[in-house]
Structure 1
Amino acid sequence: MRVLVTLLLSCWLGACSTLGVLSPLQDGRAAMLAGDPQGSEAAFAQAMVSISSDDDRALISASDSARTGAALVTNDTLRRYAVAPYERLFMHSYQALNYLALQKPEAAAVELRRADAWQRTQALAYAEKIAEAEGIAPSDTQALSALDDAAARVRSSTQHAGALYLSGLFYEAQDALNDAFIDYRAAWQAQPRNAQLASDTARLAQRLRFDDPTPRATPVAKPLSLSQDARAGDIVVYWERGEIPDKVAFQLPLINSTAYTLVSIPYYPRQGAPAQRLSLQLDGQSPAAELLVDTHALAARTLKEQLPGILLRASVRAVAKQQLQRELNEQSPGLGLLGTVYSLLSERPDLRQWSNLPAQVYVLRQRVAAGEHRLSINGEQPLSVPVRAGKITLVHVVSAPRVSYSRIYPL
C-alpha cells in the first residue's frame, strides 16, 4: 500500500514538475527565434513571476513538503526546479532585447539593471558555496573529471559576461560612461581572455581619466572613442552559436554499513570539436569574434556546485529505499520483489534544464564608416546593417541546428 501511494504521488508530482518555470523559459526563447518579441516578452514575464514567487517564499509550503518527501523515496525530478544563475541572466538579457525590439528602451534599461543587481548580490555569497562544493564533490571518476574540466573554464557560475556586456553597451549608447565602464570591467573579469572586453574597459578608463585597469600582459586593441570620428560608428555582433549539451545519467556507487547501492546522478559528458566550422564576414573581411559566454562551462560549474546536495539526497534516498524493501520483504517475498523493481525503476537523475540556450556566445566589435554594411554568417545571405555616425549598432545573430536568426538594434 505504501509503495502504491508513493507511486501515485510520484506520477502526480512528476506531471506538475514538467510545468512551472521551464516551459515559459523555453517558449520565450522559441518565440524570440521565431521573430515574435511580443510573445517572447509575455513568456519571459510569466517565468519571472514564477521565479519571483520562489525567491520570496519564506516558508516551505505543503506542496514543497510533499515534493521533498516524495523525492526522498523516488528521485530529484519531483523537486521544484531551481533556475540556474546563468539561466536567469540569459532570461533578463533576452527580455531586455525584446523590449528594445518593441521600442521600449526604458523597460530594457530596467531589465538590465535587474540583471546587474542580482549578479552583485550573488557574488557576495559565492565563495562560501564554492568551498562547500569543492570539499564534498567526488572527483575520482572519468565522468566527473569531464565535469570538472568544463567547470574550470569559468571562474563563477553567477557571473555572465554576456549580460554584463549588453548592459555596458546600453549604458555607453546612453552616454552613461561610468556605468558602462563598471559593466565592461565586470564582464572582462568574468572572461579575462577576451581582448575585446579588455579593450572596451581600457577605452572607457581613458575617457573617464581612470587608471588603466587592464594588466600590461593583456593584448588590448588600440582604444577607440565614438567621439574621435564623427563619420564613423560601431557594429557589435552578439553571436550565439550551437545548443547547450544535454545532461546525461551516470551511475555512482554508494556504500554504507549495510549495503552497496548504485545511484543515478546527472553530469555533462566531455564535448568533442564542433561538427560545423562557423564563419563570419563583415564587408568581405573575416574578423575574429571572441568568446564571451561559455554556456556549457557555466552549466557544468553550476552542476558541480549542486553535487553536494545531490549526493546527500541520493544517500538518504538509498537508505530509505533499502528500509522500504526490508519492510515489504518481511510482509511477503512478492512485495519485496515489487519494492526492488520500484527502487530500480524510480532511480533516475534530474536532467532538466533550459535546453534551447546557445552553447557559446561570441562578440565582435568593429569601427566602421557610417552607412550600410554587409554581414554574412556561414556563407548565408548577407544582412544589410545600417550604421549611424557616432552610434552603436547591435546585431543579435543565432546560428544553431535548424535555427538561423538575426535582428538589428540601433542603440
Structure 2
Amino acid sequence: MGTRGFGLFVVAGTVLLGGCAGNPMRQYDSELRETVQLVQGGSVKKAFDLLEKNNEPGVLVKDKDLLYYLEKGELLALDSSYPASKDSWLKADEFIRDWEDAVKSDANKVLGDIGSYLINDKTRRYDGQDFEKVMLSTKLMLSHIMQGSYDLARIEMKKTVEREKLIESFREKEYDKLQEDAKQQDVGITVKDMKGYPMAELDAPEVTGLKNGYQNALSHYLAGYFFEVTGEPSMAEPGYRNALQLAPNLRITQAGLREIGRRKPGPKESDVLFIIESGFAPAWKSITVPIPIPTGKKGLIATPLSFPLVKSEYKGFVPNAINAGKRQIPVETLANLDVMARRQLKDQMPGIVLRTVIRAVLKSVAQEQANKAGAVTGLLTTAVSVVSEQADDRSWRMLPERISVARATLPVGTQSIEFQTGSGTFRKDVDIGNRFTIIPIRLTGGTVYVGQPNTPGAIAIAEEPEPPAKAPAAKRPAPRRPAKKAE
C-alpha cells in the first residue's frame, strides 16, 4: 500500500472513530442482554422503555435503524399490540426494501461496498441477516392475518418467495466476486487456516443438513395454511410443497400437502393453528483467532484477528404437545433460528475471512508508514486498528430461538389449553373463532405470553406456569426457579 493507500486508511479510521452508519464502539449484544432478561421476567413495558433509552440519539446512536424497528415490533407483539407492532415492522421493512432495490438496480455496486476492505464490517449500515429478512416478511404475514388484512397477507406471501430468490441470486454473485478478489489480492488464507475457531459448531449435521441459512418451513407452511382455510386449496399447494421440501421428515408438513381439501371443519368447528415460539435467537459474539499475516520485511506474523461467532443463549423449551378440547395435539418445530444462524455464518465465513485478512494486511502496512511519519500519526493509526478490530455483533435478538406449530380442529367457543413449559404446567382459556384461529404462544424461559387470536389489540396473557407435581423422593428433580409474573 502506497501513500494514497495509507491516506485512505487514515481517512477511513477518522470516519470510523467519528461515527458512521454503524458505530464500532456500540456493544449491541450487551445492550440487548438486559432487554431479554426483562422479557423473561414478564416486564415487557420495562424492556420497551430500555430499548427506547438505548436508541436515543447521542454518541453511540446516530439514527434509529433497522434493528430498532425489528426489536420494537417484537416487543409490541409480545404485548399483543398488533397494529403498533405491524407499523414498526413496516418501518423495518423499508430498510430491507432499500437493500433489495439497490441489489436489483446495481448488484455490482452493493458487492463493491461489501468488498470495501478498509472499513470494518461493524461500521456498515446493518441490512439484516438473510434469515432475518425472510423472518420479517413472515412476521408481517402473520400480523396481517391476525388483523384480518388478508389482501396484505397475500402480498407478503408473494414477497417472501421473491425475497428468497433475490437473496439466493445475490449470494451467488457475492461468492463469485470474492473468489475473484482473493486471486487479485493474492490471499491464500482460508477458513481451514483458522486454528482455534470452533468450526465444529458450523459443521454440525443439523447445520449442514439445511438447504441454506435463510429459508424456513414455517413461512411456507403458514402460506399453505392460510390459503387452505380461506378456501383456495390450489394456492395452498405450493406453500405446503415448499414447506415439505425444507422439512421433509415432519408429520405436519407431510400431512399439509397430503390432506389439502380433506380437512373440513363443521359449522361449529375451527381449524386451529398454535404457533409456539421458544427462547431467544442466538447472540453474535466476537472471537479472536491468530492468523499468519504477511508484514513485509518481517515475513508472516501470527496476528490476532476477530471473527463472528454464533453463541446459543436463552435456549427455549418446546412442549411435546398441547392439550385442548380433550385432545393431545403434537407440536413440531418448523424453524430453528439457532441452526439457521450458524448455517448462514458457515456460508458467509469465506468472505468474512477474506475481508478480515486483507484489512489486516493493509493495517500492517499503514502502521509501518505511520510509525515512520511520526509518533502522533503512529498512535492514531494504532488506535484506529484497535477500535476497528472487532466482529459485528448486531442481530435481531428478540426473535425466538425456535418456532413450532400444532394444528387441530376444535369446537368454536372458549377452550382450555394446557402444555408444559419446562418449569411447570401452563393452563389458560382461549377463544376459538369461526373457520380458522391462530393462537400465538411465546415461552421465554420464565414467562408465557399468549396472544388472543384474531383480535386486533387484545391484551396479552403473561403468567407463571403452575409448578410441576412433586415426584417421589427417589426421583425428585432439581428445584427450578419459579417464573415471574408479568408486570
Once the two structures are TM-superposed, the CA of residue 370 in structure 1 deviates from its matched residue by: 4.2
In 2, Cα distance between equivalents of 1:99 and 1:241: 22
Residue 143 of structure 1, aligned match among 187, 194, 198 = 198
Answering whether residue 291 of structure 2 is matched by residue 245 of structure 1, we say no
Answering whether residue 230 of structure 2 is matched by residue 186 of structure 1, we say no
What residue in structure 2 maps to residue 356 of structure 1? 398
Structure 1 gaps of 5+ residues are 208-223
Structure 2 vs 1, CA of residues 130 and 368 (structure 1 numbering), >3 Å: closer, same or farther?
Answer: farther
Once the two structures are TM-superposed, the CA of residue 357 in structure 1 deviates from its matched residue by: 0.3
Residue 428 of structure 2, aligned match among 382, 386, 389 = 382
Alignment of 1:193-232 (within 5 A): 193-204=249-260, 207=261, 225-226=263-264, 232=269
In 2, Cα distance between equivalents of 1:167 and 1:144: 35
Alignment of 1:6-405 (within 5 A): 6-10=12-16, 11-13=18-20, 14=23, 15=60, 19-57=64-102, 58=105, 72-120=117-165, 122=167, 137-138=191-192, 141=196, 143-149=198-204, 151-204=207-260, 207=261, 225-226=263-264, 232-258=269-295, 259-269=301-311, 271=312, 274=315, 278=319, 280-283=322-325, 286-333=328-375, 335-377=377-419, 378=421, 379-388=425-434, 391-401=435-445, 404-405=448-449
In 1, Cα distance between equivalents of 2:348 and 2:326: 46
In 2, Cα distance between equivalents of 1:131 and 1:54: 20
After TM superposition, the score normalised by the length of structure 2 is 0.70
Structure 2 vs 1, CA of residues 152 and 132 (structure 1 numbering), >3 Å: closer, same or farther?
Answer: farther
In 2, Cα distance between equivalents of 1:273 and 1:345: 29
Structure 2 gaps of 5+ residues are 1-5, 24-59, 180-188, 296-300, 456-487
In 2, Cα distance between equivalents of 1:241 and 1:313: 35
Structure 2 vs 1, CA of residues 87 and 368 (structure 1 numbering), >3 Å: closer, same or farther?
Answer: same
Partner SS state of residue 271, structure 2: strand
Once the two structures are TM-superposed, the CA of residue 90 in structure 1 deviates from its matched residue by: 1.7
* RMSD of aligned Cα (Å): 3.6
Output the amino acid matched with 1:281. Answer: N
Q: CA offsets, 1:352-382, max 9 Å, x none?
A: 1111100001111123344432123432341
Structure 2 vs 1, CA of residues 353 and 17 (structure 1 numbering), >3 Å: closer, same or farther?
Answer: farther
In 2, Cα distance between equivalents of 1:132 and 1:5: 25
Partner SS state of residue 182, structure 1: helix
After TM superposition, the score normalised by the length of structure 1 is 0.81
Structure 2 vs 1, CA of residues 313 and 111 (structure 1 numbering), >3 Å: closer, same or farther?
Answer: same
Conserved 8 A contact 1:137-1:304:
no
Conserved 8 A contact 2:441-2:451:
yes
Conserved 8 A contact 2:334-2:405:
yes
Q: CA offsets, 1:304-346, max 9 Å, x none?
A: 2221221111012101110111011112356435533542332
Q: CA offsets, 1:249-298, max 9 Å, x none?
A: 122232233333221010114x4995867564324655330111001111
In 2, Cα distance between equivalents of 1:239 and 1:405: 10
Conserved 8 A contact 1:133-1:304:
no
Once the two structures are TM-superposed, the CA of residue 102 in structure 1 deviates from its matched residue by: 3.1
Conserved 8 A contact 2:283-2:313:
no
Once the two structures are TM-superposed, the CA of residue 28 in structure 1 deviates from its matched residue by: 1.4
Structure 2 vs 1, CA of residues 309 and 82 (structure 1 numbering), >3 Å: closer, same or farther?
Answer: farther
Name the stretch that deviates more: 102-111 or 354-363.
102-111
Once the two structures are TM-superposed, the CA of residue 8 in structure 1 deviates from its matched residue by: 3.7
Structure 2 vs 1, CA of residues 184 and 353 (structure 1 numbering), >3 Å: closer, same or farther?
Answer: same
Conserved 8 A contact 1:290-1:362:
yes
In 2, Cα distance between equivalents of 1:348 and 1:121: 29
Once the two structures are TM-superposed, the CA of residue 350 in structure 1 deviates from its matched residue by: 0.7
Structure 2 vs 1, CA of residues 273 and 130 (structure 1 numbering), >3 Å: closer, same or farther?
Answer: farther
Name the stretch that deviates more: 71-80 or 331-340.
331-340
Structure 2 vs 1, CA of residues 301 and 62 (structure 1 numbering), >3 Å: closer, same or farther?
Answer: closer
Partner SS state of residue 397, structure 2: coil
